[in-house]
Amino acid sequence: MKDVIISPSILSADFKNLHEELNKISQSGAKWIHFDVMDGHFVDNISFGIPVLESISKAHGLINDVHLMISDPLHYALRFLNAGADYLTFHLEALKSKDDIFRLIDLIHSQHKKVGISIKPGTDVLILKPYLHMIDLVLIMSVEPGFGGQQFMDNALGKITFLKDYKQTNHLDYLIEVDGGINEKTGPLCTFFGADVLVSGSYIFKADDYKKQIDKLKS
């Protein structure tokens, strides 16, 4: 059984010591770093963007797992890719048409990067079906996007199950990532249901020993 991937969300990191935080994460055994971009329009919060990604994306050797919680991902995608995104995940709810979704998938793949699509807790997982054969990752939100430190929402488990079954039935290989309220209880539960990648912010960054927390998520 392959090890679940942990993607620590820097939204919960100490930004006055970001370089040190990234070093601690690199030494903790995490191979990914989750980068929550919020525009204050798609979600009711503003986080960070292209200059911050540019300054850190090559500084740590981790996979840059960029989560766009923005209203116009098609407009900004190329700049995030050039800034160092390895996985670029956008919200299905942020695009107005199927054509725009296909256009954005093509754009990301044209830059030889990985495509992720995310859906909010209230969005039906079946809406993803036209895209699942084309993408590299599905990000299931287990909290309303916008803030770290929220409680895990159980309805994510049904979506993980559907995506795992669909992947097996259709011989697809997208990664199933879960994001929001992930801790030593909800993390292993999501893995049991079929998650491949766990995003975790406050559970890791609010603790002293990052490696210990990450090991507990993997257990």
Residues classed as catalytic: 36, 179
What x/- string results for residues 83 through 122 when contact with ligand DX5 is judged by CB under 6 A?
----------------------------------------
Return the range that interacts with ligand DX5 (CB under 6 A); candidates 82-90, 91-99, 167-175, 177-185: 177-185
Interface residue with Zn ion, options 24, 47, 67, 115 (CB under 5 A):
67
A 10 A CB-CB count for 142 gives 25
Amino acid identity, position 78: L
- Three-state DSSP at 103 gives helix
139 Cβ contact list (under 8 Å, min separation 6): 67, 89, 116, 117, 118, 119, 177, 178, 179, 199
Q: Which residue has the tokens 């309303």?
A: 144
| Terminal-to-terminal C-alpha distance of the chain | 12
Taking the complex as a whole, how short is the minimal distance between the CB of residue 58 and Zn ion, in angstroms? 21
Minimum CB separation of residue 66 from ligand DX5 in Å reads 11
Q: How many angstroms from the chain centroid is the CA of residue 176?
A: 10
Residue tagged 């840059």 (tokens): 64
From 40, 122, 130, 149, residue interacting with ligand DX5 (rule: CB under 6 A):
149
- CB-wise, 70 or 102, nearer to Zn ion? 70
CB of 172 to Zn ion, least distance (A): 23
Tell me which residues touch ligand DX5 (CB under 6 A). 9, 11-12, 34, 36, 67, 69, 143, 145-150, 179-182, 199-203
